[in-house]
Amino acid sequence: MDMELSPEQQAFAEAARDFAMGELAPHAARWDEECIFPIETFKRAGQMGFCSIYAAEDIGGLGLPRLDATLVFEEMAAVDPSTTAFLTIHNMATWMVGQWGTDTVRRQWGPDMAEGSKLASYCLTEPGSGSDAASLTTRAELVGDHYVLNGAKAFISGGGDTDVLIVMARTGAGGPGGVSAFVVDAKLPGITYGRKENKMGWNSQSTRGIKFENVQVPANHLLGQEGDGFKIAMRGLDGGRINIATCSVGAAQGALDAARVYMHERKQFNQPLAGFQALQFKFADMATHTVAARQMVRLAACKLDAGSPDASTYCAMAKRLATDLGFQVCLDAQQLHGGYGYLKDYPLERLVRDSRVHQILEGTNEIMRVIIARQLLEKGADVR
């Protein structure tokens, strides 16, 4: 395996780094403090192609591999994990429209989503179904040329601020086979949004519950066929797990960079912190964990790009490892900053808060362990 990035990939990563430093770094702390959803920044990201990195080219996407997407998201998350995480969600939704949308949906929504002028939320989780996504109860009944949508979703990123919703709803019997996926105009009558959740982190993206009461969705806004919804959701989650793992790697790199600078600047007992062997050991472990997480994420992305049968297992491994290690690196960097790490003047407290939720969403890390163990023990998968 070639572990080196191509010149084109390196240039792509540098473009993302420049965007992050110019568009995210000056504002990230204020967006967090004031809970601002930076719509105009997302539009500028779209102009760079960052709203549709792996979406189909025929809707305006770049059509690049998932590996290339990790390069962009890592650079941005090193500065602002919260804003970057929403960008990954929008990328997933745009990819779904390009992959499974009807001609009508692709024409109506695809180009605007690809360029970031229309933003999307992903609606799978419900008040009563989190890890057990197949038990969702939101229902869509076909009546004439429309589906009538009823139910509720919870913890929807961007809910109330976005233009389109990718909604998983039940069209058949219980279980995974009865779930279908829909593209829903976020402004349709019958859609109501709950209060903005007051969260520990991820404050640059709104999070709300959504209720659907007799919402009429055109029949041609079905993604794929009836009953394909759970399959589409799981395909989305494989990529989503890589995306959120990448955001953790980015946060870890941002924390590592901040710690390195601080260790040279801060002096105690007449020498910089960088001169203390105990702190050197801590920093060495942080760097090792960041690199290990990065390589695991890139391996999983390559598996997904290649369509490997064990891709889901590797995506789960990458999500579990990178989100655990990434959060720990952020905590360790905060500890190295001492009391200053607890202040909002420094980025560490925000990196800690924003990266904590990565261990919970896109499937908790406990569920990742279930997936990995099941593949290895019950299905005889191999990781060699």
Last residue of a domain, one of 104, 119, 134: 119
DSSP, residue by residue, 80-135: -HHHHHHHHHHHHHHHHHHHH--HHHHHHHHHHHHHTSS-EEEE--BTTBSS-GGG
- The reply to whether 208 and 301 lie within a common domain is no
Residues 155 and 109 in one domain: no
Domain co-membership, 129 together with 204: yes
Q: Does 133 lie in the same domain as 94?
A: no
* Structure confidence at residue 174 (pLDDT): 85
Which residues are known catalytic residues?
Answer: 362
In this structure, the answer to whether residues 237 and 323 fall within a common structural domain is yes
Q: Which residues contact 96 (CB under 8 A, 6 or more apart)?
A: 166, 181, 223, 232, 236
Residues 151 and 266 in one domain: no
184: closest CA among 206, 156, 155? 156
Same domain, 370 and 238: yes
Q: State yes or no: pLDDT of 1 exceeds 70.
A: no
Q: How many other C-beta atoms lie within 10 A of the C-beta of residue 179?
A: 27
For residue 384, is it within any domain?
Answer: no
Give yes or no for residue 189 having a pLDDT over 70: yes
Q: Does the predicted TM-score (pTM) go above 0.75?
A: yes
What's the CATH code of the domain at 50? 1.10.540.10
pLDDT of residue 2: 66
8 A C-beta contact, residue 324 and residue 318: no
Amino acid code (one letter) for 159: G
Among 227, 252, 284, which residue terminates a domain? 227
Instruction: List pLDDT tens digits, range 64-100.
Output: 999 999 999 999 999 999 999 999 999 999 999 999 9
pLDDT tens figures, 9-51: 999 999 999 999 999 999 999 999 999 999 999 999 999 999 9
- Select from 173, 207, 227 the last residue of a domain: 227
Are 233 and 330 in contact, with CB atoms under 8 Å apart? no
Whether 17 and 77 share a structural domain = yes
- What is the model's pLDDT at position 4? 87
Number of other residues whose CB lies within 10 A of the CB of residue 40 = 9
Domain range for 84 is 7-119
Report the pLDDT averaged over residues 165-186.
95
Let me know whether 239 and 218 are in one domain. no
Domain count, the chain: 3
Q: Are residues 105 and 24 in the same domain?
A: yes
Position 381 scores a pLDDT of 77
* 172-192 average pLDDT score: 95
Q: Is 188 in a helix, a strand, or coil?
A: coil
Alpha-carbon span 231 to 47, nearest angstrom: 31
Same domain, yes or no, for 171 and 62? no
